[in-house]
Every structure is written in structure tokens, then in C-alpha cells.
Structure 1
Amino acid sequence: MSFTYQTRETRRPFGCSPSLLALSVAMAFTPALSFAAAVNSDDTIVVEESATPGDEGQDQDYSVKTTTTGTKMLLVQRDIPQSVSVISQQRMKDQELNSIEEVLDNTTGVSVSRIDSHRTNIFSRGFFVSNFAFDDMPTFLDDRWNFGDTAGDTAIFESIEVVRGAAGLMSGTGNPSAYVNMVRKHADSREFKGSASATYGSWDKQRYVLDLQAPLTESGDVRGRVIAGYQDNDSWLERNHYRKKFITGVVDADITDSTTLSLAYDYQKSEEDSPTWGGFPSLWSDGSRTDFRREFNTAADWTYSNEDTSRVFANLTQRFDNGWEAKVNAMHAETNFDSRLMYIDGFPDKNTGLYNGALYQGAWGGWNRGERKQDSVDAFVRGGYELFGRQHQIMFGGSYSRQRNNYDNSYPVTDNYGLMDVGNIHNYDGKLAYPEWSDWALYQRDIIRQKSLYTATRLSLADPLNLILGVRWTEWSAHYNLERKPDETRDSKFDDVTPYAGLVYDINDEWSAYASYTSIFQPTSKRNANSEFLDPTTGKSYEAGVKGDWFNTRLTATLAVFRTEQDKVAVSTGQTIPGSGGQTAYKSVDGTVSKGVEFEINGALTDRWQLTFGASRYIAEDDDGVAVNPEQPRTTAKLFTRYQLPMLPELAVGGGVRWQNKTWQDIAGPNGDTRIKQGGYAVVDLFSRYQVTKNFALQANLNNLFDKEYYDYLGTYGVYGAPRNFSVSGTYNF
């Protein structure tokens, strides 16, 4: 018997129309939209735009109909019993989201912490996001080192998928924050076509992207695609300059009517001059808060940070007559960084700008080089089967990955244990004497392996009721040396069985309710005072909610509540590992709980109106009721919308707002423990695009319209968020 997956059909809305529902939500949270609706309340345009969207606008939708993320089975979002956000190519284009970090900064339930000019940490539900994947091939991120992962250019991606909460079924290690999957573009055109774009913006930003597709054989069974780009810009920081170049090439071949082979190569290189390592001191020596100008750059003129990444992908898909298919994915990736940096530490005098001879306060330098190599292979089979007269789905497979990390270090040699004098910080301009550097020394080596077997099935228990059951076995092992001790090696090995269960009940044609459970198994790179890897974090993650789906999945909505319970969570001891060169020692704590609620509506309100609106609220505390990562916002709301004017269809206008509540961080200040705060704030953006001709369009983006000043990072040092900036771009399609 053959099996074909069917997406949900378009049906007449039950009760109120989704357009009215979505509009009501938007009006409730966005006074500007409410005002616009009131002004136009007598216009016939409102009546026309409340009609059910057709299919003609789908190529410009913010929604993506189906995804395999979360379960590896091809499903609409309504059938996935977890919170999922899919950021489409059109959404990235409208907001000018050119890097992974910019996408995640505009994703519901995700917060971005820019800890200096070139490093970004991502958090969700109170915890660090370490699971990044490329076409579901996971890469483990270590927050101590910068390989430029979050700076990856989005021009090569079709969409970016974010599963919030534990996703152990997909990644093996069930990080309780989120699982981020980048879906690459393919060569899917059987005729020559392409696009070219050029952008100019604030701080002399220049960006150029070329995307070409063509058949490589007369039949079009073999197709090729090349995407290349270059970007060069200063920043709002003095003396700071950034440039990157990237290229990807992909060949997709229909070997037979049922067999497809895809080969791809990605490369990106970035170079930054005078990057910061951290930011400016948060406190003066009297304990009061500093207030440096936003353009103040603490880096020396001789600092730089360079990263390059290359990835090779291979994918073989075999489809069978009964509707089943088998896939084999393989990836080899190599990433390198070379960074010569310095940071200003301590608490200078407010009046003189000097450190007044305070011990271990001033400028510290570090020259670090790192290499990460990863080899991964994943093979699985999925399809449908009949049992008890009903149709069901199943997938099963296995994966293996090996990640090798190498880090070397050199440090300044001075008369004061490597400390460099910056003089009066009020007059600091980066002209710091170039130091003598120590000999290169091995800092860290490790090899991390993961082996997994997994399976999941979607059981149709009744017409309105489906149950997803899954399980994954993972073996995680590490072979590593102690910091600065190349001849002393150790081994760690853990294994775990991660169950997954999700129940989805269709209330009616538009709404469904769901509940899900999965366990957590998250190995960590954190080490204790003996430089031993801590035991993996374990726990349980629960989620329940309702989902809406209208217009054949062109508009979706999710309302979810969640609870995550964790033991053996790595927490800083405030001490250093002996002989490690300052590496922080961690300990494990039990009883950490994160709980909250999330909401998102995304897609086409009408054929002319696209909207994404999401909000999240959570509380994360340890067993003693102490807040976990309080520098991350507990409440966030994010909106972006685009509307095509009916009286001038060539013109699209829109914009958005990102709001978060207050954050804080307790630090060791000059007068003892000190709490530093960032009040709640909103950042407003505007957008417009004009279709000059059928093939040529002009677009303008204005970010941080009201030039809101805020801290992007809180700690012993501070980092400002970007001030008001603009970009203008032109795109020609052919």
C-alpha cells in the first residue's frame, strides 16, 4: 500500500475568522496598528482584506507550510507537540536579517547577548543554546570560544527553524533551551535564473550578494547553484572595522526518477580590526555606575579577530514506490579562529580615569588560535504503515559525529604579570604599546564523539487524536587534556536513553491541543576545580498548549506553557582551576526549574498583510530560589509586519518592535557585591520596499528608530546595543 502525507486542507474558519483573530491580537499589543485600523474603519479596503488569502502570495509568506524539525517526520507545525518557530527567507529579506544572530534576536522566546563586538551568546527559556544544526547535522557550541557560528550569513539559507525546549530526539543531547536548524538552499531550478543585490548603510556599510542557478544538463536533471557575497563596514565603535566574504556551491542531481544526490560546499571568512574583548568597566572605583559614550572602544589598535569556516555536505535520498524514503546525510566542517585581543579590567577612578596602582587592574591581553573539525553522518528511513485499519508514520535511523577541538594561547610578557597600563581611561584612544608575547603553548585539546540510534512513530489513534512516541540512545565520550598540561589526558564517557512523547488532539478544523514530554541529557564542557568534566545535566521537560492553523497553513498560532526540571546544572564557583591560566571552575547544582508561557502568531492575515508577533514569559530559579542567568530578560515581545498597499501595490511598508523587561546581574564590585540593572526597553524598526519594475526592487530599513540607548550585556563590564542605523538596498531578479 502506498502512503502519501497530506497537508491540512483550507477550510472555512470556525467561529471568528483568523484574520479578525490575528488583527485583534495585533491591535491589543500594538497601538500603532490599532490606530491605523481605526482611521480606515470606513474604507472598503478593510472588508476586501479580510477575505481568506489565496495561494498567489505564498512565495512571499512569513509562514513555512511543513518542516521535519523536532521529529524528522514531514509535518505541519500544528502536528508538532512543541513550540516551533520557522523564520522564512522572505521574513529575513524584509528585516534585512543577514546573520544567524540577527535572526535569533528577532525570534520568539529567544534572547541574544552580545558580550563584545564580535561574540554572541544565545539563550532561550533561561539557558544557553548550544545545539546548532545544518540540515539537522548538529554542531556543539562552546561559549568560551568564538568560531563565528552566530555570524554565519543567511543568504545561503532557505529558512531557519527553532524548536524551543529540549530536543533530544533530534540532537541526541537534550539541551533544555532550544534547537536551531539552518536549512540550506538547493539548486531547484531547471532554467537559468538568479538575483543580484547591493546594499549601502550606516557606518559605510557595503554588501553585495549574487545568487545564480542553472541546469547543468539539457534535461535539467543535474542543476547547479552558486551564492556569493561580500560585506565591508565600520561600526558605531571607534576604530572598529569588519569585513566578510562567503560562497556556497551546490549541485542537485536526479540520478533516477526516485534517487536524488546533493553535494554542497560552503565557505565564509571574516576579519575584524580593533574588536573589543568584553566591553567597558561597569563601575568606577567609588562603586558608582560608569557612563561611557556608545562609540567608546576599549580595544588596542593592534588587536584583531579572524575566523573562517568551510563545510562539505552530501545528501542521498532514495524514494520508494510505497511512499517510503531513505536518506543519508554527511558533513565535514573545519572552522578556525585567530584572535589577538585585550580587555580593560577593574574599576578606574571616576575623576582621574586612573587605576591608582590597584593590583591586577588595567589591560590584559590574549592571543588565541583555535581549530574545530567535525565529521558527521546521519542515516534514516521514514514512511507510512497501516495498523488496525488506520494510517501511521514512522522513522528510524542512526548517527555518528566526531568533533576535534584544538586551542593554543600566548600572552603578553610584562614586568607586572602581563598587565599593561592604559593610563587615563577618559583619554584612551587605542594607542597601547605593542607587547612582547610569550611562546605559544597548548591550552586545550579534546575529541568529542557522539553515537546515536533513534526512532519515532506518529500513531493515528482516532480521527482527531495522534500520538507521537520516540526514543533516542546516545553515547557521548570525550578525550581531553588539562589546560596547559599537554601530557596529562583524561577521558569521560556517558550514555543515556532519551524518551519522547507527544499527544495532539484536533479540537476542530482550525484548532488543536497538545502535550509533550522529553527527558534531558546534556553533557557539558564545564569543569570542576580538578579540571574534570562535570557530569551531564539531566532532567525532564514538559509542555502543553494549543495551536491554530488557517488558510492551508499560511497562518499559524501557538500558545504554550512549559516546565523544565534539571539536576547537575553547571554553576560558577567564582574560583579558577589551578594551573589553568584563569579558567573558571564550576560545580553541579540540583533542583533548577524553568517555567513559563509563550505565544506566537505568524503568517498571512490577508494576501497583502504578513505578520509575526510573539511573546514569552518565564521564571528560572535554582533549588534555593535564586534566579538563574538574571541578565537574560524574563519577559519579551517581538513584532514585525509587512503590508502591501492596495492603492499602490508596488509599495510595501511595515516595521516592528522588540521589547524586553528589566534585567540585572550581581557582580563583585569595589565596595562588595553590587547589583547592576538594565531597565525594560523597546527598539522600533521601520521597513519599506518599492517594486520599481517587474525585476527590480528598492528596499529601505531603519533600525532603532528612536535611538534607544541600552546595554546588550551586563557584568563587570558593559556592552551597548546598536544605535539608530539604516540601510538601502537594490535587488535585481532575472
Structure 2
Amino acid sequence: MRSTFSLPGNKFSTLSLLATAIGLALTPPLAYAEDIASQTLTVTGKAQTTSDSQPQPDRHRYTVESSRSGTKMNLTDRDIPQSVSVITEQRMKDQDLRTLNDVLKQSPGISSNQSDSERYSYFARGFYINNYSYDDIPVTQDAPWNFGETDDDMAKYQRVDIIRGATGLMSGTGNPSATINLIRKKAESKTFIGDLSTSYGSWNNQRYVADLQGPLNDSGTLRARVISGYQDQNSQLDRYHKISKFFYGDLAADLTDHTTLDLGYDYQQRHTSNPTWGGLPTWFTNGEKTHYSRSTNAAADWTFYNTLARRQFANLVTHFDNGWETHINAMHGETLMDSRLFYLSGFPDQATGILPSTGYGYAGWYKGIRTQTAVDAFATGPFTLFGRQHQLVAGVDYSRQRNRYDYSSAIYSPAQIGNYNQWMGDIAQPDWPAWALSSNDTIRQRSGYVAARFSLTDPLSLVTGMRYTEYTTNGSSAMMQKNNLTPYGGIVYDLTDSLSAYASYTSIFQPQTYRDTTGHYLKPVTGKNYETGLKADWLESRLTSTLSLFRIEQTHLGQAIAGTYVNNSSETAYRSANGVVSRGVEFEVNGAVTDNLAMTFSASRYVAQDSSKDRINPELPQTSFKLFTSYLVPAMPDLTVGGGITWQNATYQDTTDANGNTVRVVRGSYPLADLFARYQVTRQLSVQANVKNLFNRDYYTNLSNYVVYGESRNYSVNLSYHF
């Protein structure tokens, strides 16, 4: 019989192992067992679980024993009837995943589209990912504007949970793609510990990070943690330069033996000189494909892209003797964007580099501010019914997002641009016109939710619940109010002590601000999400695997109409694609294969089509594989080596060529390989080297009438010290 454990109020007294993740990661998991304080667990489920805010006993793991992601109930992966992947802190350090962009590129079942040097979009199962969470508090990101959220520095986070498919139970609105849940690091150590790291790599990439924490009083009931970093880098692009700096602070207070309050502040600033906006022309005027160097930068030398993000958060958690918990989480964030950008429209002559009369250069200066306020409160715990113990969660949340964007723009003639084949960005800055409003909107969501895990028999459990959402948008982009009831149901059957079968169902609800050719807003996307599969875990969840089959049915999905605009404006018109179906299979194995070998492998295949059998988002890969391994060399116990490879199938996009014809741009399949090695110099000091794109593969990161090149081969060397 398998059950689930919870921690109604216990915490680790020290976090020495949290520090061992930087600099001591190649030591066998039990080598520093003396650094872990003993822990007494109260049993209501599977063994030795920690809450989302607590450190894992073994920092060398690629897995976690339980998570609240998806249901708010603290469940093992096998108890969640949906695909959930975890990217732990150790995995991020082994692969040198520094930003959320890096993490998502390596996550199972997720594909990316890079529009230029600064803008990334991510997709799962054929649909755009617009749902993100911070410590389970849901927020929504919109696609048109980039405030640098996916460039968030991962030094502040303990791990990332990815819940694929529709997640309406916990997020309300959203696409049936995935929800990205970022779990913050907290002040937990009752002794002073710290980590210092510095790295240097390709393109003069320098990075410095400090992570310090400890008690503020003798008893350790008041604790603080400070994480700060600075990064200065160029890139493969000529003239490109970027500076990033961040500060993160958390103050934790044990108000009573059962109640803990966390107060935190998160600050991150980025300044980029000579960023690209779009990419390089795909064709010359004669229809020949261009072959620019990967170092060619299309930016003007007066361009920049600046973002500033500030977030404050508070978490109040109370544990009761009967196993119940209450959580009150709040977050307020403000993000500012200021960018002067330049892009080329048209295709230059192959010999002279001169644009045709229809071509032009476009300069845009954009300023934006986004504020987000979210509050989530819930209670969860066990209850007894018909002689069996079950779990329940019930809560309410509220979120408000305000977005305002202003712009100024100017046009350059072909004569002013000159020979684009010799472009160096040396063009005069325009006389900027007065600022104009692009959009100003406020989005509010009010929700209530309830869910339960019923233990029907020893091997059979039922997870069911629903969420009621009130959604309103007021502003220049849309004026709408929608209400929706989202049901959720899933069953899990334990076939053996290590293997379970599961199935789940939920509905889809996503309001849209896209408009058709006449200016009318498209109806909200609605639909159904089905999933079934097998899950297994071994060695107390140190090794997990999932095989899932899914089917997603959607109606009113907005699709851009190429070359068509709303009421003859500059706003791209959209159409509703009905009868959209995405179906596929995903497989993942993750964790410790042996005492010395950790591995993560995933494979994903889906097909997404509308009722006319036309492919949805054909620029996205439908098949992908991702593999990464870490191996502790037995003959040299201070050495860890590893590496990985990713592969995706060919994709295409229909666009307009130099002669105005609709043509299909194809990107062939391609692999990317990485390597890493780490050597433990002393107990406190380690050195690690990473090489990415080992074979220097030349590939595009997007498909359209312009191209963006992926990063060429690059390296980094990291020195880390723990005390």
C-alpha cells in the first residue's frame, strides 16, 4: 500500500545541504549527512516529504518528493493525474541554466521561438504558454510586449515546476499548454552559511553571485537571506552589450511554533545596448536566400532595451496539530520597459545592398509599465470519510494587472539606409515625434476553488474539483466581462508499489483580445483537455518517469491572417480557428539511475490541426528529444562529468518573399550537444566548465521573412565557494 506524507509544521533546522549544491555537488549524497538536522515527520502519506518552501534533504537530486503545483495539495508526482516536470537547483547548476529562458529551453515538451535578441515565446502541445506562478500565485503574461520575465535570474529560485496541459483548476484562464511555477528560495538556516560564485565565458561574459543566509537572533526564529548578482556580457552579435544586476532578500519569522511569516523583495535591472528587433532579411530582391554571418547585428548604434522589475511578496503559513494548514500569499510587482529599436522592412539587392523603393527602416521608441497585484488564500489538510483518510483544499484568489504602453516612431528611406550588406548601425537617430498611446488596459480575475483527493480504496484515488472565475478587461484593447466554471477530475490507480495509471479531464477558458478584419473581438477560446498515462517512481522518488497521452479540443482559437489588418490599420487581423485538436504522447524519465549517474530524458510528439486539417503553429517542432546526464566518476570521486543533446524535427512557416509571393520557409531538423565537468578542489571549493552547442551547429530560432540565428558554440568556467 502506498500513502502520502505531509509536514504539518516541521522544518529543517539547518540548510547546509542547500549550500552544498554550489561547489560540493560532486560528493556522493550521503557524504555530508552530518550536516542535516534530524527531522521528525508526521505521517499522512508517502515518505519524507518537504513543503515547496523547504530544502530537499539531498541537494544532488534531479527530483523532488512532493509538490503543491497543480492542485495546492502537497502530493507526490504519482498522486497528480497530470504531467508534471521539475527542474531542480542541482540540475540548473549542472547545465549552467542561468535564466528562465535557459530552463524552459531544456524543459520536457516545451519549444521556443526567439523573435530577436530580447524576445522569447514558449509553447507546449502546440499552444503559447501564458500562465506563470510564483510560489503557486498565478499571474498571466501577454505576448505582444516583453518585460524580460523569461530573462529572470534563476539564482533566486529553488526549482521550477512545469505542469503541462490545461491548468484551469489553479490558474483560471489560460491556454492548454503549461503553467510555469517558480519556487523561491527562503531564509531557512539557523546557522550562518553562504555561497560565492564567479564565472567567465565566451564573449567576455562575466558573472558574480553571492547567496548568504543566517539567523538574526539567538534562537533562530528570525532569519534573513540575501542573494545578489551582477553579469556583464557581450554576445555573438557585433556591438551587442548587456548588463544585468539583481538583488533578492527574504526575511522569515517564526511567529509561533506553528506560524511562519515570510517577507521578501526582488529587484532586477537589465540594460542592453544595440539589441536587435526582428532579424536579418531572409531573401535578397532576386529571390536568393541570404547567408549573413551570425555576428551581423541589424540594430542601429543608438538602440537600447532596458527593463526594471520590482516585486514584493509575503507568505503567512500556519500549521495545526490535526494536519491542516492555512496559507495566505500576496505579491505586488512593477515592471518598466524602455526601448529604442530599429528594424529593416524589405529585402536588399544582393550586389549593392540597396533596398527597393518599397523598403524602409523603422525606428520605434517604446515605454511600458506593468503592475501586478495578486492575493491567494487557501486551507488544506486531511479529513476522514467512510473510515478512510482523504485530503481537501479550498481557497480564493484575486489578481489585477495593469498594462500601459506608449510609443514614438519614425521612418527611414532606402537612401538613408544605404548599403545594407555593409550595415554597421551608423545611422543618425531620428527626431522623435510626440508620444502616442499604444494601449492602456486593466485585467482583473476573481476566483474561488475547491479540490479533494479521495482515497477510494488502497490502490485507487480520485482527484476532483472546480474553479469559478470572474474575468474582466477594461481599456483601449478590449472591454469585456466573462464568467466561467472550470471542472477538474482525475483518477490514479496503483498497479504496483512503483507504478500507477492515471487519467484526467478539465475544461479550457481563455479570453482573447485579438480582433477580426471588421474590428470585432474574437470569442474566448473554449475546449476540453484529456490526459491519461502511466507514472512510476523508485528509490523514494529519487527516480521518476511518466508516459502520457493527451488530446486537446479547442474552439475559437485565434490565428493571425498574414498580410491582413483590422479596418485597414496596422493591427494584424485574426480569425477563429474552430475544431482545433492537438493530440500526442510525452515520455520522461528523471533522477538518479544509480548512485553515481543522474539522468533526465524526455521525448514529445504531437499533431495540432484545425477542422480543415491545416497545421496549427507549423513553425513549432512537433517532435523533440532532450537528454542530459551527470556522472560521478568512481575512480576519481572529486570529478563529475556529463552532457546532453537536444533534437527537434523540421518545421515551416508560410510567409511573403521578395516578389510578394506566398512561400514556405523550412527549417530542417537539428541537434544541439552540450558538455560539462566539475572538480571538487576542496570541501568548500569547486570549479566547473560547460560547453554549449559543442559542434557549433548553425540554426535559426524563428521562421518568417527575417531570420534569427541561434547561439554558436560557447563556454563558461565557474568557480564556487561554500562556507
Q: Does TM, scored on the shorter chain, surpass 0.5?
A: yes
User: Shift of the alpha carbon at 1:58?
Assistant: 2.4
Q: Which residue of 1 aligns with 2:491?
A: 503
Q: Which residue of 2 aligns with 1:354?
A: 354
Q: Which residue of 1 aligns with 2:466?
A: 471
- Which AA in structure 2 matches 1:617? R
Deviations 1:288-320 (CA, angstroms, capped at 9, x unpaired): 321111111100000000001010001111111
Q: Which residue of 2 aligns with 1:702?
A: 691
1:590 aligns with 2:578: yes
Q: Which residue of 2 aligns with 1:554?
A: 542
Deviations 1:224-273 (CA, angstroms, capped at 9, x unpaired): 00000000000000101111000100011110011110100000000100
In 2: Cα distance, 1:6 partner to 1:132 partner: 25
Q: Decide whether the 8 Å contact of 1:363 with 1:420 is kept in 2.
A: no
In 1: Cα distance, 2:520 partner to 2:315 partner: 38
Q: Secondary structure of 1:59's match?
A: coil
In 2: Cα distance, 1:153 partner to 1:538 partner: 34
Q: Secondary structure of 2:255's match?
A: strand
Q: Decide whether the 8 Å contact of 1:104 with 1:110 is kept in 2.
A: yes
In 2: Cα distance, 1:440 partner to 1:210 partner: 41
Q: Decide whether the 8 Å contact of 2:448 with 2:467 is kept in 1.
A: yes
Q: Which residue of 2 aligns with 1:278?
A: 278
Q: Decide whether the 8 Å contact of 1:71 with 1:169 is kept in 2.
A: yes
Q: Which residue of 1 aligns with 2:456?
A: 461
Q: Which residue of 2 aligns with 1:21?
A: none
Q: Decide whether the 8 Å contact of 1:4 with 1:323 is kept in 2.
A: no
In 2: Cα distance, 1:98 partner to 1:706 partner: 22
In 2: Cα distance, 1:710 partner to 1:413 partner: 31
> Which of the numbers 696, 700, 716 marks the counterpart of 1:727?
716
User: Shift of the alpha carbon at 1:413?
Assistant: 5.9
Q: Which residue of 1 aligns with 2:678?
A: 689
Instruction: Identify unmatched segments of 5+ residues in structure 2.
Output: 8-47, 50-55
User: Shift of the alpha carbon at 1:670?
Assistant: 2.6
Specify whether residues 679 and 4 from structure 1 end up closer, same or farther in structure 2 by C-alpha distance, changes over 3 A only.
closer
In 2: Cα distance, 1:722 partner to 1:220 partner: 46
Taking the TM superposition and a 5 Å limit, the aligned residue runs for 1:594-673 are: 594-671=582-659, 672-673=661-662
In 2: Cα distance, 1:458 partner to 1:587 partner: 40
- Which AA in structure 2 matches 1:719? V
> Which of the numbers 655, 660, 663 marks the counterpart of 1:674?
663
- Which AA in structure 2 matches 1:246? F
Q: Which residue of 2 aligns with 1:33?
A: none
Q: Secondary structure of 1:587's match?
A: strand
- Which AA in structure 2 matches 1:712? T
- Which AA in structure 2 matches 1:673? T
Taking the TM superposition and a 5 Å limit, the aligned residue runs for 1:174-189 are: 174-189=174-189
1:295 aligns with 2:284: no
Q: Which residue of 2 aligns with 1:544?
A: 532
In 2: Cα distance, 1:455 partner to 1:57 partner: 31
1:235 aligns with 2:235: yes
**Which 10-residue stretch deviates more, 526-535 or 647-656?**
526-535
User: Shift of the alpha carbon at 1:420?
Assistant: 7.5
Q: Decide whether the 8 Å contact of 1:457 with 1:470 is kept in 2.
A: yes
Q: Decide whether the 8 Å contact of 1:413 with 1:438 is kept in 2.
A: no
Q: Which residue of 2 aligns with 1:164?
A: 164
In 2: Cα distance, 1:94 partner to 1:508 partner: 33
**Which 10-residue stretch deviates more, 92-101 or 170-179?**
170-179
User: Shift of the alpha carbon at 1:524?
Assistant: 2.3
Q: Decide whether the 8 Å contact of 1:362 with 1:420 is kept in 2.
A: no
In 1: Cα distance, 2:61 partner to 2:633 partner: 16
Deviations 1:448-488 (CA, angstroms, capped at 9, x unpaired): 00010001000011100000001001111000115xxxxxx
Q: Which residue of 1 aligns with 2:362?
A: 364
Q: Decide whether the 8 Å contact of 1:193 with 1:212 is kept in 2.
A: yes
Specify whether residues 406 and 613 from structure 1 end up closer, same or farther in structure 2 by C-alpha distance, changes over 3 A only.
same
Q: Which residue of 2 aligns with 1:31?
A: none
User: Shift of the alpha carbon at 1:528?
Assistant: 3.1
Q: Which residue of 2 aligns with 1:431?
A: 426
Q: Decide whether the 8 Å contact of 1:190 with 1:223 is kept in 2.
A: yes
Question: TM-score, structure 2 length as denominator?
Answer: 0.91
**Which 10-residue stretch deviates more, 122-131 or 662-671?**
662-671
In 2: Cα distance, 1:421 partner to 1:542 partner: 55
Q: Which residue of 2 aligns with 1:411?
A: 409
In 1: Cα distance, 2:364 partner to 2:311 partner: 28
Deviations 1:165-218 (CA, angstroms, capped at 9, x unpaired): 000011111421100010000001000000000000000000000000010111
In 2: Cα distance, 1:334 partner to 1:614 partner: 36
Q: Which residue of 1 aligns with 2:551?
A: 563
Taking the TM superposition and a 5 Å limit, the aligned residue runs for 1:63-82 are: 63-82=63-82
Q: Decide whether the 8 Å contact of 2:517 with 2:567 is kept in 1.
A: yes
In 2: Cα distance, 1:108 partner to 1:721 partner: 20
Deviations 1:635-683 (CA, angstroms, capped at 9, x unpaired): 0000001000111111000000011111111101133111111111100
User: Shift of the alpha carbon at 1:579?
Assistant: 7.3
In 1: Cα distance, 2:682 partner to 2:567 partner: 66
User: Shift of the alpha carbon at 1:532?
Assistant: 4.7
Deviations 1:7-37 (CA, angstroms, capped at 9, x unpaired): 9xxxxxxxxxxxxxxxxxxxxxxxxxxxxxx
In 1: Cα distance, 2:488 partner to 2:316 partner: 27
**Count of matched residue positions in the alignment of Structure 1 and Structure 2:** 673
Q: Decide whether the 8 Å contact of 2:305 with 2:337 is kept in 1.
A: yes
Q: Which residue of 2 aligns with 1:317?
A: 317
Q: Secondary structure of 1:169's match?
A: helix
- Which AA in structure 2 matches 1:546? L
In 1: Cα distance, 2:224 partner to 2:401 partner: 30
In 1: Cα distance, 2:662 partner to 2:314 partner: 53
User: Shift of the alpha carbon at 1:612?
Assistant: 0.4
Q: Decide whether the 8 Å contact of 2:514 with 2:558 is kept in 1.
A: yes
Taking the TM superposition and a 5 Å limit, the aligned residue runs for 1:199-210 are: 199-210=199-210
* CA RMSD in angstroms, aligned pairs only: 1.6
- Which AA in structure 1 matches 2:439? Q
User: Shift of the alpha carbon at 1:499?
Assistant: 0.5
- Which AA in structure 2 matches 1:324? W
In 2: Cα distance, 1:342 partner to 1:606 partner: 52
| Aligned sequence identity (%) | 49
Q: Secondary structure of 1:421's match?
A: helix
Question: TM-score, structure 1 length as denominator?
Answer: 0.90
Q: Which residue of 1 aligns with 2:442?
A: 447
In 2: Cα distance, 1:542 partner to 1:406 partner: 37
Q: Which residue of 2 aligns with 1:39?
A: none
Q: Decide whether the 8 Å contact of 2:390 with 2:453 is kept in 1.
A: yes
Q: Which residue of 1 aligns with 2:326?
A: 326
In 1: Cα distance, 2:304 partner to 2:568 partner: 27
Q: Which residue of 1 aligns with 2:705?
A: 716
Give 4+ residue runs of structure 1 displaced > 6 Å after superposition. 54-57
In 1: Cα distance, 2:207 partner to 2:415 partner: 37
